[in-house]
Structure 1
Amino acid sequence: MNKNNCFLLGHIAKVHGLHGELVLALDVDYPEDYEELEHLFVEKNNRLIPFFLEHMVPQPNNRYLAKFEEYDHVDKVKDLIGSALYLPLKDLPELAADQYYFHELVGCRIVDEKEGELGIVKVIYDLETQDLIGMEYQEKEVLIPIQDGIIQRVDKAEKKVFCRLPEGLIDIYLNE
């Protein structure tokens, strides 16, 4: 399994108690969609290692109390703290027609309601403060905030992201 075929689900935040339980922090919009997971992949030494879940109990703030099978002591899990958690793309929950995963936007064309087609989504920046689309436009990277007022809709079949870009946003990147 490699990262290109996976979705970054979150990370291991800390150890809980002495019996191998961990607190998982999920970076997802609907954490309840992941409560029935049987396994996930943990990044360790730049490799994705499968771990099977004994249990995963919801906690506040997109956190879960989890225990991996055959890991029954704090000493067996403490070196996993901070490790990234991945789920294969094929195992992601189905979304409604008007919803999308960020990775589905890469390769889509950006269409502004005033300017028309502008460029192609090259990368998604999933930052703590704001999520951004990195679009190539006139050989420069333009960053577009992923917000309800800006992203109008996504047509996954046509691979297009319809936007209402703020006045002057593109000029900021072109006028250096």
Structure 2
Amino acid sequence: MAVGRVRKPHGVHGELLVEILTDFPQRLAVGVSVGVGQAEPEQFFTVKSVRLHKGAWLLKLSECTRREQADSFREQYLFLPEQEREALPANYYYEHELAGLRCLLLDGREAGTVQRLEAGPAGAWLVVLQGEREVLVPFVSPIVVRVDLEQGCVLLDPPEGLLFGDAL
């Protein structure tokens, strides 16, 4: 389960500034093993220290002692062991599960690829890459018709011209 995204190094001793992506940040504690990677854990580290700083975490991982090393983690996700899929509420998805999914319109046209999920003041947004352009798609049921993890796609029904304009 992705619980955070590394934004940048903090200081010169390998500390990381991490965006919180979970409703339960207390699960990330000293001594916990975390995976670091893009779509799934690629390397594992032990949390040496964690503290809250301006709505984000400042995290120190084992064996990360230099700013240069911390910089290599930029935009990587932090993973905790995943819960059983059946235990999750319906229509709940981990952010890392959505990243990389193809976006299709109801008529079958490709509409881009999900890059990430962003939280906004009124709800979540899918950040969809269309060529070189990013488009924000509200993650609400009339627009996001279905998420199909097995097929690797999100079916969208956006209002006419509102989100995609002349890009398609």
Fold conserved between structures, TM > 0.5: yes
2:6 matched residue in structure 1: 10
Q: Distance in 2 between matches of 1:41 and 1:55?
A: 16
CA contact (8 A) 1:9 1:86 kept: yes
Q: Aligned pair 1:54/2:48, yes or no?
A: yes
Among candidates 81, 88, 91, match of residue 81 of structure 2: 91
Is there any run of 5+ residues in structure 2 with no aligned partner, and where?
Answer: none
Q: Give the C-alpha shift of residue 119 in structure 1.
A: 3.2
Q: Give the C-alpha shift of residue 147 in structure 1.
A: 0.9
TM-score after normalising by structure 1: 0.54
Label 1:101 to 1:29 Cα distance change in 2 as closer, same or farther (>3 A). Answer: same
Q: Distance in 1 between matches of 2:165 and 2:112?
A: 19
Q: Give the C-alpha shift of residue 52 in structure 1.
A: 1.9
Query: Alignment RMSD, CA only?
Result: 4.4
Q: Distance in 2 between matches of 1:56 and 1:21?
A: 13
Q: Distance in 2 between matches of 1:33 and 1:156?
A: 30
1:79 matched residue in structure 2: 68
The within-5 A match list for 1:1-176 is 9-15=5-11, 20=13, 22-26=15-19, 28=21, 30=23, 32=25, 35-36=28-29, 37-41=32-36, 49-61=43-55, 63-69=56-62, 76-82=65-71, 83-84=73-74, 85-87=76-78, 91-92=81-82, 95-105=88-98, 106-107=100-101, 110-111=104-105, 116-120=106-110, 123-126=113-116, 131-134=126-129, 145-148=136-139, 151-156=143-148, 159=151, 161-169=154-162, 170=164, 172-174=166-168
Q: Give the C-alpha shift of residue 15 in structure 1.
A: 2.2
Q: Which amino acid aligns with 1:39?
A: V
Label 1:171 to 1:86 Cα distance change in 2 as closer, same or farther (>3 A). Answer: closer
Is there any run of 5+ residues in structure 1 with no aligned partner, and where?
Answer: 1-5
Q: Which amino acid aligns with 1:99?
A: Y
Q: Which has the larger radius of gyration?
A: 1
Report percent identity of matched pairs. 17
Q: Distance in 1 between matches of 2:63 and 2:70?
A: 17
Q: Which amino acid aligns with 1:69?
A: S
Q: Give the C-alpha shift of residue 172 in structure 1.
A: 0.7
TM-score after normalising by structure 2: 0.55
Equivalent position SS for 1:146: strand
* Bigger helix share: 1
CA contact (8 A) 1:125 1:133 kept: yes
